Structure 1
Amino acid sequence: MTNFNEALSDLRVLDLSRVLAGPWAGQLLADLGADVVKVERPDTGDDTRAWGPPWLEDADGRSSGQSAYYLSANRNKRSITIDIAHPEGQQLIRRLVKDADVVIENFKVDGLRQYQLDYESLSSINPRLVYCSVTGFGQTGPSAARAGYDFLIQGMGGLMSITGRPDGEDGAGPLKVGVALTDVMTGLYATVAVLSALAARNRTGRGQHIDVALLDVQIASLANQASNYLVGGTAPARMGNAHPNIVPYQDFPTADGYMIIAVGNDRQFASFCNVLGHSEWAEDQCFATNPARVKNRTRLVAWINRVTVERPTAEWVSLMEIAGVPCGPINTLDRVFDDPQVKARGMRMEMAHSVAGAVPLVANPIRMSETPVSYRRPPPTLGEHTFEVLQSWLSMGEEEIQALCELGVV
């Protein structure tokens, strides 16, 4: 039943994607109210269902067969199994597309053309269809046919060249970010593109094909670092936790660990110096302005390090907060979810689950006053909604669905 308190309650989405980037976009659309049907391979489903441990456990402590990885990107969807290699399965997708608004897929370039499930084929059935293709390298160019994975793209797209300790330090070398950030960012860009295409459709009456590539997104996400290179002509180097354009903006040792200082302007720097007991640093022409601090970074950071080790992290954080200096600890995830602010924002939530009883999830960070995010369905078990979707979208009877089951189509 349509709930008009949800922003996208009038949208139907077929999510043919798997792993993370495509499913992330599908989950975001689903959180915003869209009816998202996740189309999966019979028997195996999304690759990430098997990407464990850890596994969600049932009430008796037995594995439910759903990995934590899969759970992170498939909330609010309905799962239907269809074998698209089977002609009857292809026909089933075409029937579903007639009433769909959006298709999300992340097959290799032209991977769906052999089944006549590519954009050209499906848009001839439904000219209003918004068809979003997510690939590693895009639909064009010499690398278009290559498979792309987040780790690979983090390396090829430059992110790892600026992530890690500088050469000459212990532990030096390129590092990937600790989460598949390229996939997540690609999912976000894909969602923006889908919503933009839908807005355009409201004016023109026609859908369109969206080409989103992990490599393109990774490069776009380099933001100021890419701009630093394009304007300055020098490729940025790895700087550990330091910032290329702002000082001090990094981690500093304390008496019991580390803290982060994120000074964004000269006024904050003066306050920072006062807390450290060295107000004279802010008056020194070598450090009074940010460009001067960047130039004399090595000397200033060494001085700060000698002071910050004198007090524990919590004490520094408290003092800096009073002074209006951005400062915080480096939390492990148990501390993240125990943080009072994180709790107040409800970033950890639970949903009822048919196998496990309840499943813990990270909440959607979007807060909307009139059409808030809703949590209607936990991440589905494989094929959980096959009968339901075929009946509600296509008005198929049980006998017809059962016949498809016997053929191995669903």
Structure 2
Amino acid sequence: MIDVAEQPLHGIKVLDLGRALAGPLCSLMLGDLGADIIKIEPPGLGDDSRAWPPFKNGESTYFASANRNKRSIVLDLGKPEGQDIFRKMVKSADVVLENYRHGVMDRWGIGYEALCELNPSLVYCSITGFGRTGPYATKPATDIYMQAFSGLMSVTGEVGGGPIRTGVSICDLTAGMFASLGITAALQARQKTGRGQLVDTSLLDGQLAYLSYLLTAFGATKEVPGKSGSGHPSVVPYQAFQASDGWVTLAAFNDRIWQRAAVAMELGHLTSDPLFITNVERVKNRDELIPIMQERFSTKTVDEWVSLMEDNDVPLAPVNTIEQIMSHPQVLHRDMIQEIDHPVAGKLSVFGFPMKFSETPCSNRYPPPTLGQHTNEILNEFGFSDSEISELKNLFVVSSGKI
């Protein structure tokens, strides 16, 4: 039995204005670590992702994937009464998280400068497309926009082919992860100083960080990185190959592994060929090497290659489908697929906690909330009486959900 009170972020109250994926992924991580996440949603449809298919019993599985361990309140921040309620909540909150376009919160009178006057110990995290400073600060951005703008799509896809979006919303996910790291660091700094601060991150900032070695390579060589398909610009062979009944990936990231792989494939003579003897030479001569290897890979099944390479201590993996990986014994052993009971959708599978703590493990306390499910409960906690809540509902400032 997990003692929630012992979790790292127990006692931290987060006012979560995150929408879609970047903000919600950030607050999910904080919630898994024990923080009290109060998800503040606008009237009507609430978080945009509630309307994104596929659905189960009318509930979006996309929304469900990023919103466990949260309580939902519907609050109209566009109305003065809603802004007043939010200010009252901020006075006793630890964190405000939002991913609105820069300037929106200021127009409502609840931006960083205004809120830190109310609560100097507040950690305020802003996730935007481009950051809060610079010539593009007020421009909006979505995940695919940033995949294109950041340069990611220029290096994604087959050689000679068009730009390809990654299979997941990597820019949103990256920004959410960096935001959660920034918030926890700011909370740690507050322990020392007693003061909160602004945490400013963006889809652009996060993606530039993830482009990593490609940026450094260009800076050194002035050669513009291009597409490598499933391969790698700096390591060969390091890519996918087609077996007789599916696909595998080989990761020969040093010469020792290359030698073992070549011997296992009965291509040992290539290890002494001057064209392929070192990784530097293999990168130069990949167009000669890869077809030879592909021809050999086509002679065996995926399972045969996996078994053969494991016997020779060579990292080769099957290209699994989502169905296959969700039932894999290693994934199940690590509790990376968990089942939750949603009040409307019923049982749903979600990813497990990607961090394992020996003493203070993460916990799954709340299923993803229905829209406004906890409005009354949360307002009561912040000192609003039932009669005041009824009046606010009559003014359409707040509303409650169906559960």
Same fold (TM over 0.5): yes
Q: Can you give the 5+ residue segments of structure 2 that lack an aligned partner in the other structure?
A: 399-403
Is the aligned partner of 1:122 residue 2:115? yes
Which of these residues, 308, 312, 317, is aligned with residue 301 of structure 2? 312
Aligned counterpart for 1:400 among listed residues 375, 382, 388: 388
1:150 Cα deviation (Å)? Answer: 0.4
Q: Does 1:338 align with 2:339?
A: no
User: 2: CA distance between counterparts of 1:372 and 1:146?
Assistant: 39
Aligned match of 1:386? 375
* Partner Cα separation in structure 2 for residue 145 and residue 30 of structure 1: 29
CA shift for structure 1 position 204: 0.9
2:155: which partner in 1? Answer: 162
CA contact under 8 A between 2:50 and 2:63: conserved in structure 1?
yes
Q: In the alignment, residue 342 of structure 1 is paired with which amino acid?
A: V
Alignment of 1:262 onto 2:212:
no
Tell me by how many angstroms 1:98 deviates: 0.6
Q: Distance in 2 between matches of 1:355 and 1:253?
A: 43
In 2, the alpha carbon distance for the partners of 1:56 and 1:125 equals 42
Query: 1:335 offset after TM fit, Å?
Result: 1.0
Residue 20 (structure 2) aligns with: 19
* Cα distance in 2 for residues equivalent to 1:153 and 1:356: 32
What's the offset of the Cα at 1:136?
Answer: 0.5
- The answer to whether the 8 A contact 2:150-2:204 is kept is yes
Residue 60 of structure 1 corresponds to which residue in structure 2?
A: none
Note the C-alpha offset of 1:356: 2.7
In 2, the alpha carbon distance for the partners of 1:226 and 1:72 equals 32
Amino acid at match of 2:310: E
Could you tell me whether the CA contact under 8 Å between 1:359 and 1:378 is conserved in 2?
no
Aligned partner (choices 82, 94, 106) of residue 99 of structure 2: 106
Letter in 1 for 2:221: G
The AA in structure 2 aligned to 1:24 is L
Letter in 2 for 1:131: Y
Q: 1:336 deviation in Å? A: 1.3
Larger mean Cα displacement after TM superposition, 330-339 or 372-381:
330-339
Q: Give the drift of 1:402.
A: 1.3
Once the two structures are superposed, residues 182-227 of structure 1 have per-residue CA deviations (whole angstroms, 9 ceiling, x without a partner) of 0000000001111111111111111111111111211111011121
8 A Cα contact 1:86 1:409, kept in partner: yes
On the 8 A contact 1:258/1:313 being kept in 2, the answer is: yes
Q: Equivalents in 2 of 1:139, 1:145: separation in Å?
A: 7
Q: Equivalent residue for 2:279?
A: 290
> What is residue 87 of structure 2 aligned with on the other side?
94
| Identity in percent | 43
Matched, 1:176 2:169: no
Q: Distance in 1 between matches of 2:6 and 2:193?
A: 26
Residue identity in the other structure for 2:255: D
Partner of 2:193 in structure 1? 204
Q: Distance in 1 between matches of 2:166 and 2:5?
A: 39
Deviation at 1:4, TM superposition (A): 2.2
Task: Tell me which moved more, 25-34 or 255-264.
Answer: 255-264
Query: Deviation of residue 284 (structure 1)?
Result: 2.2
Q: Structure 1: which 5+ runs fail to align?
A: 58-62
- Give the C-alpha shift of residue 72 in structure 1: 1.2
- Contact 2:250–2:317 under 8 Å retained in 1: yes
* Corresponding position: 1:358 with 2:347: yes
**AA of the residue aligned to 1:100:** A
- Mean Cα deviation higher: 2-11 or 184-193: 2-11
RMSD across aligned C-alpha pairs, in angstroms?
1.1
Instruction: Report the number of matched residues.
Output: 396
Contact kept in structure 1, 2:235 and 2:253, CA below 8 Å: yes
Match of 1:132 in 2: 125
1:23 is aligned with what amino acid?
P
Secondary structure of 1:4 counterpart: helix
**Aligned residue number for residue 361 of structure 2:** 372
Tell me the distance in 1 between the aligned counterparts of 2:245 and 2:347: 37
2:7 match: 6
Is 1:218 aligned with 2:218?
no
Q: 1:286 deviation in Å?
A: 2.1
Asked whether the 8 Å contact 2:4–2:363 carries over to 1, the reply is no
Task: Give me the whole-angstrom Cα distance separating, in 2, the residues matched to 1:11 and 1:3.
Answer: 12
- The offset of 1:305, in angstroms, is 1.1
What is residue 47 of structure 2 aligned with on the other side? Answer: 46
The amino acid that maps onto 2:22 is A
The more displaced of 328-337 and 76-85 is 328-337
Confirm or deny: 8 A CA contact 1:19 1:46 kept in the other structure. Answer: yes
Aligned-pair CA distance for 1:44:
1.5
Question: Contact conserved, 2:19 with 2:99, CA < 8 A, in 1?
Answer: yes
TM-score calculated relative to the size of structure 2: 0.96
CA drift at 1:55: 0.5
Shift of 1:376: 0.2
Aligned to 2:401: none
